[in-house]
């Protein structure tokens, strides 16, 4: 590779990093999780051959470009127009599209996510993320008992998904007036060694609001 080619590649990578950072700021934890899945998890395993790696990189660049516009509906249209190279990548694409549409039509967004969560042709982790995202959409009109059951199932997972599911169960308990159960759950979550700093901060804020004591 010539010095010129090397320089161009470095600049290109820097542009990608800047766009990716903006995407993470916009989408928070779900963007981080999706990036991990794409680069270091199931999708990477699917696309590890050289030609497939190139397809994955091109797909990633297309997603970053689609998320560039400031208008939410424009981003949704751009995402919808993309073609995913694998079922796993298609799942990620639908997750991002649902995130853009959720504010305008929460019921439809939740329905699309739950449909995705029931697909047998994609890795389980994508189905789990789709379920969790659907449970987190405000005013989606989902049945409380169904929400509770789906979240309880997710709480049996490992790592970040388990903790986020526990957080959402606590929010559901608060909605239903069971603040004592929510407080107990949030205190356990706050003390969990696997909880991230952001998750612990959210839990502590709700604990204090419910009159709990973090010094116990």
The answer to whether residues 115 and 161 belong to one domain is no
Residue 97 counted as domain residue:
yes
Report H helices in 28-123: 29-40, 42-46, 50-66, 72-80, 87-101, 106-117
Question: Would you say residue 2 has pLDDT above 60?
Answer: no
DSSP class of 83: -
The answer to whether residues 99 and 177 belong to one domain is no
Domain boundary among 123, 152, 169: 123
Domain tally for the chain? Answer: 2
The answer to whether residues 96 and 158 belong to one domain is no
Residue 175 counted as domain residue:
yes
pLDDT in tens, 115-152: 888 888 888 888 888 898 888 888 888 888 999 999 99
Alpha carbon distance, N-terminus to C-terminus of the chain:
61
Residues 6+ apart with CB under 8 A from 183: 207, 210, 211, 212
Residue 150 counted as domain residue:
yes
The answer to whether residues 2 and 97 belong to one domain is yes
**Which domain range does residue 193 map to?**
143-216
Distance between CA 138 and CA 116 in Å, rounded?
A: 19
- Secondary structure tally for the chain: helices H, strands E: 12, 0
Structure tokens at 109: 């967004």
More confident residue, 95 or 43: 95
**190-200 burial string, b = 16+ CB within 10 Å, else e?**
beeeebeeebb
Residue 53 counted as domain residue:
yes
Indicate the pTM of the whole model: 0.65
Distance between CA 148 and CA 3 in Å, rounded?
A: 58
The answer to whether residues 18 and 118 belong to one domain is yes
Residue 197 counted as domain residue:
yes
The answer to whether residues 108 and 174 belong to one domain is no
The answer to whether residues 25 and 98 belong to one domain is yes
The answer to whether residues 103 and 150 belong to one domain is no
């Amino acid at each position: 590779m010539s010095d010129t080619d090397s320089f161009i590649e470095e600049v290109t990578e820097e542009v990608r990093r800047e766009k990716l950072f903006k995407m993470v700021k916009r989408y928070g934890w779900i963007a981080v999780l999706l990036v991990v899945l794409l680069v270091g998890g199931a999708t990477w395993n699917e696309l590890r051959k050289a030609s497939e790696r190139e397809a994955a990189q091109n797909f990633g660049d297309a997603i970053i470009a689609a998320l560039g516009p400031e208008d939410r509906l424009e981003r949704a249209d751009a995402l919808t127009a993309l073609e995913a190279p694998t079922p796993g990548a298609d799942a990620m694409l639908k997750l991002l599209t649902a995130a853009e549409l959720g504010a305008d039509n929460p019921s439809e967004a939740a329905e699309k996510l739950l449909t995705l969560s029931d697909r047998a042709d994609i890795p389980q982790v994508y189905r789990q993320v789709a379920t969790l995202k659907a449970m987190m959409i405000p005013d989606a009109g989902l049945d409380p008992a169904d929400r509770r059951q789906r979240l309880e199932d997710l709480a049996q997972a490992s790592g970040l998904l388990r903790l986020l599911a526990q957080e959402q169960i606590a929010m559901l308990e608060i909605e239903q007036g069971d603040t004592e159960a929510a407080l107990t759950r949030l205190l356990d979550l706050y003390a969990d060694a696997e909880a991230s700093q952001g998750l612990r901060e959210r839990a502590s804020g709700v604990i204090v609001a419910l009159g709990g004591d973090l010094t116990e």
